[in-house]
A and B are shown apart, each in its own frame.
Chain A
Amino acid sequence: MLKYTLKRLLQLIPTLLIVVLIIFVITRVVPGNPAAVMLGPQASVQDVEKLEEELGLNNSIWTQMLDYLKGLLKGDLGKSYYYNEPVIDIISERFPNTLLLSVFSMFLSLLIGIPAGVISATKQYSKFDYITMVLALIGISMPVFWLGLMLVLIFSVKLGWLPSVGIGEAGFIDGLKHIILPGLSLAIISAGVFARFTRSSMLDIIKEDYIKTARAKGLREKIVIWKHAFKNALPPIITIIGIQFSSLLSGAILTETIFSWPGMGKLIVDSIEKRDYSLVQGGVLFVAFVYVVINLIVDISYALLNPKVRAEFEGTKEGGK
């Protein structure tokens, strides 16, 4: 298992290197000159040329890439043209906000989605099942910005219970008030996904013989469902949780924009628009890193949860050699 984990960790390096190269080339191939974008419509040709030189944009793309890679080896993600600050500082300011929002909405959506899916599966074709699945479908299909706006109209404008924008002042209570609406608007959508996945995964398992055996043994239904069926239904659910969570961590762009939540999504979109090359590169690289790490965690937890998978992994590894 340890060997497997190490091997996967080593695989991260080429993956991330490829990401760096692709992003580097893409940012430069897309038309648009960062200097011109920075200075806006009113800049003269001379101003743009002057700034280009200052930013080192006159060097060839290969020189620029080599410089960037050299910096990366030293852990330096470069400096943002716009903010005039190290990229790493900017990311480390924004990422905690995104992490907070992701964890919060993940927690909410699991709390709603998983039990709803499990109960729906155990009571297939019941009223509860129908209602839950319709609600889940609505949840999945709702555009997140629309949902966000509706939540604000109801809870902030009409009822005046919760603030509509920003991340809040110091203090737990105020922070909690600010995170509820953006968190909820993300959670409702993920909860729908989780409920549907859990249901279908559970339905497959419940029909298995060993569940019948467990029931025949006279185990309590609760134990049959949660300990025997749910545990076995979990691997595909974990995959989808991993996917949802990593996409949340890369920044829920629309939600962050609507709620003026200073997170990664907003940062990356802004920096793409502004052609802030080093910030785009740093941001995307960081997101890619988060993605692969979460994927890794999902795979490892797969193995941990299911001895069969573990054996297979180790088998392939051996066979590979």
Chain B
Amino acid sequence: MNRRKKGLLFILVAIMVLSFALTGCGKNKSDKKAGGNKEGGTLTIALSSTPKNLDPVKYTGVYEGNIIRSIGDTLVFYDKELKEVIPGLATEWEISKDLKEYKFTLRDDVYFQKGKYQDGRKMTAEDVKYSLERSEKESAMGRLRMLDHVEVVSDNEIIAYLKEPNAAFLTVLTDSGNIIVPKEEVEGWGDEFGLHLVGTGSYAFKEWRKDDCVILEKNEKYWGSKPNLDQVVFKFISDTNMRANALRTGEIDVATDLQGESIEAIKKDEKLEIREKPGMKVSFVSMNLKNGPTKDKKVREAILSAIDVDALVKGLYSWDEAERAYLPLPPGSWGYDKSIEELVPKYDPAKAKKLLAEAGYPNGGFELNIYITDDPMRVKMATIIQSDLKENLNIDLKINTAEWGTFSDVASKGKADLYGMSWAWYPDPDFFLYQMFHSAQIGSLGNGQGFENAKVDELLNRAVSETGNQEERAKLYQEALKIIAEEYPRLDYSNEKVIYGMNKKVKDFVLFGDNQIFINHPEFNVYKEK
């Protein structure tokens, strides 16, 4: 028996030693490297999801995009306020009158990071052509679907020809799916390129410990301002409270996507701070415009008038994590127009009842199905709306929760009376309004409600094809927004803020409304105080 016990103990210890030898993630030992005040150290950022693929054409999640962004650069970036497009790998650009040709002048001091198939050679115009055309052909998300082809004009000039006029092309180029990558590496690694990404960014890919972290290291040959940190570690911690805890213990320096009580805990800690910014995100409940009682505009107006949105937002975001929304576009977008908020029905139960009676339901008495994901916040939202509708209109709201796969299937196929979700994308209104209100998008999740309006279609088309001028485009979007608001297609209830917890030693870290993470951006360069 004793011998057996010893044997068991031996096996146990052997397994543990072996597994630990396989290494894990965390702080790097070279944390206290000397140098300038800003130089050195490891910045550990906790993301809320686990990346699957870092190939720019294959990535699908924001968190993946955020890692890619440090490894590679795009031709242009958005400025930190998300108002203007600024130079990246391209120093300047010219757009043809018909919005179909974009000519870029490229930097000539850009080098790739070293990889297995090239030793850190110079980036050329051919690489830009290769990368953009690859994105057009292979991007799972169709990120460059408007691109026809790219022509190399000279060593440092290219022209991108579009299939159709598109004023949102520069915005699309800022996506980390469109970083410039070396052909040798892509072809050399084949399917595994996503595990060995090489780009021109300020931090180079070093190691990926699956489900645990991705480690990047400083790229000494970076073309822009020299990266300050020795290493950047993206660590994956899916639980909000645990991200906050890891921040409090000092295991990480930045905790992204914070919610709820964890925010309070961080505020109380002297070494830490909470940083927040209005987000590029709208949460909403869409109503079925094709079938069921909500097909009737009066019913929709009645529903909107019966929901106390201010109380809803207060009830949902106890830690002030969001602002009340009115329109299907976040106020941070340059297309937003505050005056249209007026068109959204105000909370007025008496009027709601009257409207419902006019629509032929004097005593309510019908049932509606709402579909949401099993996210507790959505469940809470649906429950509050359920009680508002019951109390004010005698409508029975049946709450159906499902995980994402089922939810997206039901919602996009127009099978739900109501469905609740969020939408976040680039600051260009095209990525909100076209995706969610253009009739061409019916059948995809964006326009699962089936919004169809010829005038809106026309305005949305004109906004990307008629002019590249941001102000003029904004006007077209505002006009479309007005028509949309008057149709009462859905309840836009909140704009969630981007909330990060941070160790106060982290300096120069800028939050982006669209939840992008830049460690080294033309306008700032993150460092860690000693």
Interface residues of A (CB under 8 A from B): 30-34, 36-48, 50-51, 82-85, 90, 93-94, 96-97, 99-100, 103-104, 107, 149, 152-153, 156-157, 160, 163-172, 174-176, 178-179, 257-260, 262, 266-267, 270, 272-275
Contact = CB atoms under 8 A, between A and B. Distances in A.
Contacts of B445: 36, 41-43
A39 B140 contact: yes
Nearest to A110: B8
Contact count band on B: 35 or more
B425 A42 contact: yes
A39 B141 contact: yes
B24 A31 contact: no
Contacts of B19: 96-97, 99-100, 175
Contacts of B425: 42
Nearest to B443: A45
Interface centre among B53, B61, B212, B405 (most CB of A within 10 A): B405
B93 interface: no
B20 A172 contact: yes
Nearest to A40: B60
A51 B409 CA distance: 15
B490 to A, nearest CB: 14
Contacts of A164: 242, 245-246, 249, 251
B109 to A, nearest CB: 34
Contacts of A175: 16, 19-20, 24
Given A51-B140, A166-B212, A262-B212, A176 B20 contact: yes
A44 B441 contact: yes
A157 to B, nearest CB: 5
A178 B60 contact: no
B475 interface: no
Nearest to B21: A170
A168 B20 contact: yes
A33 B408 CA distance: 8
B407 to A, nearest CB: 8
Contacts of B239: 257-258, 260
Given A93-B210, A100-B16, A167-B212, A258 B242 contact: yes
Given A36-B445, A47-B142, A260-B242, A168 B24 contact: yes
Contacts of A85: 195
Interface string B417-430: 00001010100000
Contact of A41 (B191, B409, B421): B421
A163 B53 contact: no
B235 interface: yes
Contacts of A267: 211
Nearest to A107: B12
B419 to A, nearest CB: 11
B384 interface: no
Contact of A170 (B23, B408, B409, B412): B23
A94 B211 contact: yes
Contacts of A259: 242
B50 interface: yes
A272 B403 CA distance: 9
B72 interface: no
Nearest to A101: B19
Interface centre among B245, B408, B423, B425 (most CB of A within 10 A): B408
Minimum-distance CB pairs A-B, first 3: A32-B405, A175-B20, A262-B211
24 contacts: A30-B406, A32-B405, A33-B409, A39-B140, A41-B423, A41-B445, A44-B142, A51-B140, A83-B53, A84-B53, A97-B19, A100-B15, A149-B245, A153-B245, A157-B249, A164-B242, A166-B24, A166-B235, A166-B237, A168-B25, A170-B23, A176-B20, A258-B242, A273-B403
B464 to A, nearest CB: 15
A225 to B, nearest CB: 14
A262 B445 CA distance: 31
Contacts of A36: 405, 408-409, 412, 445
Given A36-B412, A43-B141, A170-B20, 11 more contacts: A44-B441, A45-B444, A94-B211, A100-B16, A104-B12, A149-B245, A169-B23, A169-B26, A179-B16, A260-B236, A272-B403
Contacts of B406: 30-32
Contacts of B20: 168, 170-172, 174-176
B422 to A, nearest CB: 8
Given A38-B140, A160-B249, A84 B22 contact: no
B165 interface: no
A90 B246 CA distance: 26
A319 B241 CA distance: 59
Interface of B: 12, 15-27, 50, 52-53, 58, 60-61, 140-142, 191-192, 194-195, 209-213, 235-239, 241-242, 245-246, 248-249, 251, 403-410, 412, 421, 423, 425, 431, 435, 441, 443-446
A83 B60 CA distance: 12
B251 A166 contact: yes
A248 to B, nearest CB: 14
Contact of A166 (B25, B140, B408, B431): B25
A40 B441 CA distance: 14
Contacts of B235: 165-166, 260
A178 to B, nearest CB: 7
A275 B405 contact: yes
A149 B24 contact: no
Given A97-B19, A160-B249, A175-B24, A31 B421 contact: no
Nearest to A263: B211
B238 A260 contact: yes
Nearest to B209: A262
A174 B251 CA distance: 13
Contact of B409 (A31, A107, A163, A179): A31
Given A175-B19, A175-B20, A262-B210, A41 B408 contact: yes
A166 B194 CA distance: 23
B194 A84 contact: yes
Contacts of B237: 165-166, 260
A169 B24 contact: yes
Contacts of B140: 38-39, 43, 47, 50-51
Given A41-B423, A42-B141, A84-B191, A156 B23 contact: no
A104 B421 CA distance: 41
Contacts of A38: 60, 140
Nearest to A35: B140
Contacts of A32: 403-409
A31 B410 contact: yes
A149 B246 CA distance: 11
Contacts of B192: 84
A163 B141 contact: no
Nearest to B18: A96
Nearest to A275: B405
B142 A43 contact: yes
A112 to B, nearest CB: 15
Nearest to B49: A270
